[in-house]
Structures are given as C-alpha cells and as structure tokens.
Amino acid sequence: MNDKVKEDLGEKIVSVIKTIFDPEIPVDIYELGLIYDVFVNEDMDVKVLMTLTSPNCPVAETLPMEVEEKIRSIEEVRNAEVEITFDPTWTQDMMSEEAKLELGFL
C-alpha cells in the first residue's frame, strides 16, 4: 500500500470519526481530542487509540463500538479495533480551537 492510499484512508477515517458526537457535549469526538492515534497496517486493519472524557462516561460501552462500526463501514477497511486508554487523562486542553470556540472557552 502506498503512502497516498494510506493518507486517503486516514482522511476517510477522520471524516467518519467526525460524525460521532459526545452525547454530553455538542462537539464531535475528534475535535474534543478523544482520538489519540489511528494506525493502519498493510492489511488495511485499523486500530484507534482513544479516551473518554471520564472513566464513568455514560457511553463508555457504546462509543468505542460506534467508532469501530463506522470505521468498518469504510470500503477499504478490513477490520477495526478501538483501544480505550486513560493515559494521558483527557483534559479540556486537548480540545481543538474549534471545539473550544464552539463551547465558549475562547
């Protein structure tokens, strides 16, 4: 797989992730800074390293599954896996400028 294919797939993955919103905050999980990393291997398997706003987040069970399902819906993706981490712990500083503006923090 060449870099262009990987880059295009990365953009598709980010676009799909941006359609998923935190139920408590009207901002998508990408702009919130909940996605720490996205890995794509040669077999088109995708692994996402993400966090939640808190360990007690009401969508702790469903949000990772939604991320996996949406990424799997991308034609080129063979499989998707989401790993949740709380290291580093999410803080409002991880939000994009856009998210901070949307929420009135700027």
| Residue range 40-99, pLDDT digits in tens | 998 999 999 999 988 888 888 899 999 999 999 999 999 999 999 999 999 999 999 999
Q: What is the sign of the dihedral through the CA atoms of 87, 83, 34 and 23?
A: negative
Domains and their CATH numbers in the chain: 3-90 (3.30.300.130)
Q: How far apart are CA 101 and CA 14, in angstroms?
A: 20
Contact 34, 15 (CB under 8 A): no
24-43, pLDDT tens digit by residue? 788 999 999 999 999 999 89
DSSP-assigned states of every residue in 49-75: EE--S-TT-TTTTHHHHHHHHHHHTST
pTM of the model: 0.91
Q: 23 forms bridges with which residues in the sheet? A: none
Beta strands 45-50 and 79-84: pairing type? parallel
Q: Is the pLDDT of residue 1 over 70?
A: no
Q: How far apart are CA 44 and CA 91, in angstroms?
A: 31
